């Protein structure tokens, strides 16, 4: 199986780049499963339903969120009726929506997608490790599901790495989001799980993690609240990871970074 995951979509420039590029990207990589983190798609804060619909139409099988899940209030009724749009699994019981979904692929196989949020330097949610363990116990990789993808939305690389090693062998891919900078530690862990600490963002890298650099930098200089941060609007780099799995086990055979367009060095896996 071929899996494509794209990191945090930031603002209009990120949305437009992903929607425009995803159909061809999916075809070129022969991707069976495509998941996009879009929690910053609406002006850098949250996701509006029409934006989610555009990404689904472009080829996303599932969309994940994070700490900005509820910044656009109109997403609350939409997420309740859209199983393929996920908020973090470890939000408190009773929170609208779901943190996991089983996606049926074009060939009839099924893939489990989880969205989980870390706690270090983040909101004090339920334990991401325990909630993930409970959810994974309901499925069998290589059996009931052909693949398991986990988007771990977290700040600290230590927490992300601990999470990856904790569930090594139980997922096809564990990939971090939230920091918006692609890390160079893509690897297949000893148990067969593909891992990268952060996929990076789909947005303008002539910025401060996707936001216009002047306003963002001023906050560090003056330590005073200023105007609401605005997304940078230059050409976007699409960032993510590509994973090829073993059809018999669902475990990873390889993981490679994806960077297309914009300012960063370009790399696209050969399929």
- What CATH number should be reported for the domain holding residue 151? 3.60.21.10
Question: What is the crossing angle of helices 11-28 and 49-58, to 10°?
Answer: 20
The whole-model pTM stands at 0.97
Q: How confident is the model at residue 225 (pLDDT cuts 50, 70, 90)?
A: confident
Please tell me the distance from the alpha carbon of residue 132 to that of residue 241, in angstroms, as a whole number.
21
Q: Which of 43, 68, 106, 186 is catalytic?
A: 68
What's the chain's average pLDDT?
97
**Considering its fold, how many domains does the chain have in total?**
1
Q: What is the DSSP letter of 237?
A: B
> What average pLDDT does the segment 130-146 reach?
97
Question: In this structure, are residues 119 and 128 in contact, taking their beta carbons and an 8 Å threshold?
Answer: yes
Please tell me the distance from the alpha carbon of residue 7 to that of residue 4, in angstroms, as a whole number.
10
Please tell me the distance from the alpha carbon of residue 62 to that of residue 66, in angstroms, as a whole number.
14
43 in active site: no
> What average pLDDT does the segment 156-170 reach?
98
Please tell me the distance from the alpha carbon of residue 195 to that of residue 35, in angstroms, as a whole number.
15
Task: Answer whether residue 265 is part of any domain.
Answer: no
pLDDT at residue number 175? 98
> What average pLDDT does the segment 133-150 reach?
98
Query: For residue 116, is pLDDT > 80?
Result: yes
The total of other beta-carbon atoms located within 10 Å of residue 263's CB is 13
Task: Answer whether residue 31 is part of any domain.
Answer: yes
Spatial neighbors of 254 by CB under 8 A, at least 6 apart, are 188, 194, 243, 244
pLDDT at residue number 224? 80
Please tell me the distance from the alpha carbon of residue 113 to that of residue 151, in angstroms, as a whole number.
8
Task: Answer whether residue 61 is part of any domain.
Answer: yes
Q: How confident is the model at residue 236 (pLDDT cuts 50, 70, 90)?
A: very high
pLDDT at residue number 80? 95
> What average pLDDT does the segment 50-55 reach?
98
Task: Answer whether residue 74 is part of any domain.
Answer: yes
Q: What is the DSSP letter of 77?
A: H
Please tell me the distance from the alpha carbon of residue 6 to that of residue 27, in angstroms, as a whole number.
15
Burial 227-241 (b: 16+ CB within 10 A, else e): eebebbbeebbbbbb
Number of H helices, E strands in the chain: 6, 13
What residues make up the domain containing 39?
2-260
Q: How confident is the model at residue 248 (pLDDT cuts 50, 70, 90)?
A: very high
Task: Answer whether residue 154 is part of any domain.
Answer: yes
Task: Answer whether residue 210 is part of any domain.
Answer: yes
Q: How confident is the model at residue 228 (pLDDT cuts 50, 70, 90)?
A: confident
Locate 219 and state its tokens: 């906050």
> What average pLDDT does the segment 231-252 reach?
97
Task: Answer whether residue 119 is part of any domain.
Answer: yes
Task: Answer whether residue 245 is part of any domain.
Answer: yes
Decide: helix, strand or coil at residue 123: coil
Question: In this structure, are residues 128 and 118 in contact, taking their beta carbons and an 8 Å threshold?
Answer: yes
Percent of the chain with pLDDT over 70: 100
Q: How confident is the model at residue 223 (pLDDT cuts 50, 70, 90)?
A: confident
Cα–Cα nearest to 132, from 194, 90, 69, 87 = 90
């Amino acid at each position: 199986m071929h899996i494509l995951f794209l990191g945090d979509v930031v603002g209009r420039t990120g949305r437009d780049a992903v929607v425009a590029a995803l159909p061809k990207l999916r075809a070129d990589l022969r991707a069976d499963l495509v998941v996009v983190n879009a929690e910053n798609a609406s002006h850098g804060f949250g996701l509006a339903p029409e934006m989610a619909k555009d990404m689904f139409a472009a080829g996303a099988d599932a969309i994940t969120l994070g700490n900005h899940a509820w910044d656009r209030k109109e997403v609350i009724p939409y997420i309740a009726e859209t199983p393929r749009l996920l908020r973090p699994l470890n939000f408190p019981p009773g929170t609208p929506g779901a943190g996991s979904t089983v996606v049926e692929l074009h060939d009839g196989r099924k893939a489990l997608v989880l969205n989980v949020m870390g706690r270090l330097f983040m909101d004090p949610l339920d334990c991401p490790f325990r909630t993930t363990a409970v959810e994974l116990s309901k499925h069998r990789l290589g059996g009931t599901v052909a693949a398991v993808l986990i988007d771990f939305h977290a700040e600290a690389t230590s927490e992300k790495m601990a999470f990856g090693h904790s569930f090594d062998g139980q997922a096809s891919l564990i990939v971090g989001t939230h920091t918006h900078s692609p890390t160079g530690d893509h690897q297949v862990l000893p148990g067969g799980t593909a891992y990268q600490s952060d996929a990076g963002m789909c947005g303008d890298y002539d910025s401060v993690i996707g936001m216009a650099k002047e306003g963002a930098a001023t906050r560090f200089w003056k330590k005073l609240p200023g105007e609401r941060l605005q997304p940078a609007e230059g050409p976007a780099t699409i960032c993510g990871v590509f994973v090829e799995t073993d059809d018999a086990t669902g475990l990873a055979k390889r993981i490679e970074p994806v960077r297309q367009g914009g300012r960063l060095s370009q790399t696209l896996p050969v399929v």
